[in-house]
């Protein structure tokens, strides 16, 4: 047992850890949004609760049925003619109804009334025993005797009710003796007929079956509660309507859904105390709604802490049958003499409130150090609301505690505002979300502005990266891809008609984005200066690739204040002489694709070209061959280069299109290795070819 308890404590502790809360928060985001929150099921339930409560409020506001109207509509409630009643006051003799409402009386006095036993005759068809209900009397205590027999003792102006004798007296008259101890010597026992504090039914003697008396008391209590104190009872119903409207039309967050469901079900149960829906088992339905309200109170707590899935499907699938069973048990408990069902609400409140309290306060302590003050506030406020749900039933089981003055004061303060605190916590959370949405909207506006600027920069950079038309047999094709709008990769291609020379430079500068693009633009300007076509004299055409590397290296060192390595490859191909000079500086090796002596379809040799670093080298380019230049966005490692070489050999041997530089470029871009492990880098590919036609 000790080990089991220890294991249980360890499980609970690990479940309340920060890691568990973070893991649950991540899991609740899984799934499809269409299956959560504002879907057909939740909209149907919330809209039904909203319609039910609105119909109730409209009916309540328009009917304004008073107790007098209620009595008038009940045929089994009779108000005897005043002439059939004889009032007597001890020591005064016969008195009138008016006298009893105006004359001062001693502190202790006996009031007698005689009435015909036949007043109960019209009620003989009823299954309930007939009773006589007195007008509202002012008294501290009262003792009643009927025909000399003690009937009962009443306290503090409780409305007096006595059953009619089963055997009528011989003279057909019933004498009722009421000994009254007054609240003070000068207060008359009855209220004046003109008093606005009581209805006519409350000021009159009435005869009715006991079942009607019970229903009349329920109606009077509900009428007093609903019409006299809207802030309490009807205010809760109006607040539930607001929560339902909030979810249906404004905020579809799971917190709003939980608030709408638990308050909606509880309000539906409260509305049934007005007995306004005929033809239903009121006790079964109201208890069903109360339990569903507590079930979704737990759902609300978990969503406020954001540690449970948002979907309500399983909550309904489990909650509806359990609540139907509970409602049925409560509706038949008196018939079977069961006592345990009356304890279920207290246990349910302790469990639901305990879960809500622990979850909210634990989530608040975890978030306290994460700069989310409004969410922490919302969780703390909700924790107080859930605390009240625990306190009241605990006092039921601990009488010593419930009688303590401090405990009573806490309950009196929290009980009226508990539901409002839970609603307020949801509103705080919604407000914090609105603030975050505004902040994100501002960030989005700034991001869109930056994006427009980057798109403009991309357009400007593209004007530098042009591929001129070259005559056959030369071919050239390029692919340029920036990691973020603008790139640090730069290529320069020049064709000199007078010297019949093609120049290709590919440079990969360190960094990404704007700062790398600015350096790339500067190196492009350097290249434009060195290769300016026919205006450059022949002597200056020598060693331009080396001089380009040196000038770029000097520029980069001056720009950063520290030595920076230039990375580039360049070639100059003379179309007349069919010679090519190539220069590499810290750049990946180019790949040469050339024909062997075998057939055109299968005779391909593919291999990297081993070049010295920073030293001009002559490289033959035979007709039908291609030279592939690529930045490290494509060829980051020697292993990836080897995989690409094997891929090209295999596809060229299988007859892949290879007539033009564009064919080779498309074949290279189809390499799966680039897609399986894409790098967050700028990527540029240039294919230079020599046609064999």
Q: What integer pLDDT is reported at residue 34 of this predicted model?
A: 42
What are the backbone dihedrals phi and psi of residue 371, each rounded to the nearest 5 degrees, phi first? 55, 45
Please tell me which residue, 37 or 73, carries the higher pLDDT value: 73
In CATH, the number for domain 80-212 is 2.60.120
- The CA distance from 238 to 231, in Å, is 9
- Predicted confidence band of residue 150 (pLDDT cuts 50, 70, 90): confident
The string of pLDDT tens digits covering residues 3-19 is: 655 665 666 666 677 77
| Residue 437 pLDDT | 53
Q: Is the pLDDT of residue 535 over 50?
A: no
463: pLDDT confidence band, cut at 50, 70 and 90? Answer: low
- The SS3 of residue 66 is coil
% of residues, the chain, pLDDT over 90: 16
Q: Please tell me whether the peptide bond between 473 and the residue prior to it is cis, using omega within 30 degrees of 0.
A: yes
Which pLDDT band, with edges at 50, 70 and 90, does 185 fall under?
A: low
pLDDT digits (tens, 9 = 90+) for 228-275: 444 456 777 888 888 888 888 877 888 888 899 999 998 888 888 766
Give yes or no for residue 478 having a pLDDT over 90: yes
Tell me the average pLDDT across 442-471.
67
| Three-state DSSP state, 207 | strand
What does each C-alpha distance from 234 to 54, 68, 87 come to in angstroms? Answer: 12, 22, 41
Percentage of residues in the chain having pLDDT higher than 70: 80
- Bigger pLDDT: 288 or 161? 288
Average pLDDT of the segment spanning 83-89: 77
pLDDT of residue 323: 93
pLDDT tens sequence across 27-44: 766 654 444 577 788 888
**Contact status, residue 411 vs residue 384, Cβ threshold 8 Å:** no
pLDDT score of 536: 47
Classify 278 as helix, strand or coil. Answer: coil
Greater pLDDT, 106 or 406:
406
> Which range has the top average pLDDT, 117-121, 409-413, 454-458, 630-634?
630-634
Cα–Cα distance, 628 to 626 (Å, whole number): 6
pTM value is 0.49
pLDDT for the residue 325: 93
- Candidates 520, 608, 521; CA nearest to 566 is 520
Q: How many CA within 13 A on the CB side of residue 16?
A: 16
Relative to beta strand 206-209, strand 130-133 is antiparallel
Return the pLDDT at 63.
52
Question: Measured at the alpha carbon of residue 365, what is the angle toward residues 363 and 367, in degrees to the nearest 5?
Answer: 70
Nearest residue to 95 (alpha-carbon basis) of 78, 118, 114: 114
What does the longest C-alpha to C-alpha distance in the chain come to? 149
CA distances from 461 to 237, 491, 505, 598 (A): 65, 11, 16, 44
242 three-state secondary structure: helix
Q: What is the per-residue pLDDT for 633?
A: 83
116-140: average pLDDT: 77
**Distance in angstroms (rounded) separating the CA atoms of residues 132 and 208:** 7
- Average confidence (pLDDT) over 277-304: 87
Angle at 493 between CA 488 and CA 499, to 5 degrees: 155
8 A C-beta contact, residue 524 and residue 506 = no
Q: Are 504 and 491 in contact (CB under 8 A)?
A: yes
The string of DSSP codes covering 70-124 is HHHH-TT-B---GGG-EEEETTTEEE-HHHHHHS---SEEEEEEEEEGGGGGGGT
Q: What does each C-alpha distance from 662 to 160, 285, 396 come to in angstroms?
A: 105, 76, 86
Where are the CATH 2.60.120 domain residues in the chain? 80-212
Q: Tell me the average pLDDT of the chain.
A: 79
Residue 419: both structure tokens together: 């539901």
What is the Cβ-side half-sphere exposure of residue 27, based on CA atoms within 13 angstroms? 10
**pLDDT of 198:** 67
Architecture of domain 465-690: 4-Layer Sandwich (3.60)
| Averaged pLDDT, 185-200 | 64
309-342 tens-digit pLDDT? 888 888 999 999 999 999 999 888 877 778 788 8
Mean pLDDT, residues 342-357 taken together: 90
What does the pLDDT look like over 294-309, one tens digit per residue?
Answer: 999 999 999 888 888 8
Locate CATH 3.60.40.10 in the chain: 465-690
Mean pLDDT of 82-97: 75
User: Beta-strand (E) ranges in 550-632?
Assistant: 568-574, 579-585, 591-595, 604-608, 617-618, 625-630
């Amino acid at each position: 047992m000790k080990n089991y308890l220890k294991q249980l404590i360890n499980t609970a502790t690990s479940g309340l850890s920060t890691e568990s809360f973070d893991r649950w928060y991540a899991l609740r985001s899984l799934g499809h949004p269409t299956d959560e929150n504002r879907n057909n099921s939740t909209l149907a339930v919330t809209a039904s609760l909203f319609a039910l409560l609105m119909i109730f409020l409209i009916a309540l506001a328009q009917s304004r049925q008073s107790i007098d109207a209620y009595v008038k509509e009940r045929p089994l409630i009779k108000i005897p003619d005043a002439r059939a009643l004889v009032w007597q006051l001890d020591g005064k003799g016969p008195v009138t109804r008016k006298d009893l409402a105006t004359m001062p009386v001693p502190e202790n006095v006996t009031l007698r009334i005689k009435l015909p036993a036949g007043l109960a005759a019209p009620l003989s068809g009823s299954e309930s025993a007939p009773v006589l209900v007195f007008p509202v009397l002012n008294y501290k205590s009262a003792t009643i005797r009927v025909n000399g027999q003690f009937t009962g003792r009443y306290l503090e102006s409780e409305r007096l009710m006595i059953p009619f004798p089963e055997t009528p007296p011989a003279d057909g008259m019933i004498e009722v003796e009421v000994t009254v101890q007054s609240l003070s010597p000068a207060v008359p026992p009855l209220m004046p007929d003109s008093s606005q504090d009581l209805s006519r039914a409350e000021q009159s003697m009435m005869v009715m079956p006991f079942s009607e008396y019970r229903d009349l008391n329920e109606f009077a209590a509900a009428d007093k509660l609903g019409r006299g104190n809207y802030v309490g009872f009807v205010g809760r119903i109006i607040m539930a309507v607001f929560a339902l409207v909030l979810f249906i039309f404004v905020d579809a967050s799971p917190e709003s859904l939980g608030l709408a469901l638990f308050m909606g079900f509880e309000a539906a149960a409260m509305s049934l105390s007005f007995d306004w829906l005929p033809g239903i088992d009121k006790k079964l339905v109201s208890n069903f709604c109360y339990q569903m309200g507590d079930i979704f109170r737990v759902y609300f707590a978990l969503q406020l802490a954001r540690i449970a899935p948002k979907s309500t499907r399983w909550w309904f699938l489990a909650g509806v049958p359990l609540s139907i069973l509970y409602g049925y048990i409560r509706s038949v408990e008196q018939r079977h003499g069961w006592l345990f069902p009356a304890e279920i609400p207290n246990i349910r409140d302790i469990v639901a409130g305990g879960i809500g309290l622990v979850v909210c306060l634990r989530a608040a302590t975890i978030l306290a150090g994460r700069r989310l003050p409004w969410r922490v506030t919302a969780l703390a406020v909700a924790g107080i609301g859930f605390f009240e749900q625990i306190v009241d039933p605990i006092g039921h089981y601990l009488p010593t505690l419930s009688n303590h003055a401090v405990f009573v004061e806490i309950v009196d303060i929290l009980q009226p505002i508990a539901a409002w605190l839970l609603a307020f916590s949801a509103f705080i959370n919604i407000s914090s979300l609105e603030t975050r949405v505004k902040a994100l909207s501002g960030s989005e506006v700034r991001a869109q502005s930056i994006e427009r600027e980057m798109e403009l920069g991309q357009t400007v950079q593209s004007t530098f990266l042009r591929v001129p038309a070259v005559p056959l047999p030369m071919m050239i094709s390029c692919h340029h891809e920036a990691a973020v709008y603008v790139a640090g990769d730069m290529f320069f291609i020049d064709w000199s008609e007078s010297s019949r020379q093609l120049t290709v430079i590919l440079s990969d500068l360190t960094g990404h984005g704007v700062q790398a693009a600015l350096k790339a633009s500067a190196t492009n300007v350097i290249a434009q200066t060195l290769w300016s076509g026919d205006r450059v004299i022949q002597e200056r055409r020598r060693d331009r690739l080396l001089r380009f590397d040196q000038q770029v290296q000097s520029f980069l060192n001056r720009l950063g204040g520290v030595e920076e390595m230039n990375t580039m490859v360049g070639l100059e191909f003379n179309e007349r002489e069919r010679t090519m000079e190539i220069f590499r500086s810290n750049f990946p090796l180019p790949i040469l694709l050339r024909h062997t002596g075998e057939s055109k379809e299968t005779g391909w040799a593919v291999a990297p070209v081993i070049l010295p670093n920073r030293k001009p080298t002559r490289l033959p380019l035979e007709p039908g061959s291609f030279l592939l230049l690529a930045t490290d966005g494509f060829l980051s490692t020697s292993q990836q280069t080897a995989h690409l070489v094997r891929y090209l050999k295999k596809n060229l041997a299988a007859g892949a299109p290879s007539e033009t530089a564009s064919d080779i470029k498309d074949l290279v871009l189809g390499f799966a290795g680039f897609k399986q492990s894409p790098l967050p880098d700028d990527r540029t590919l240039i294919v230079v070819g020599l046609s064999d036609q």
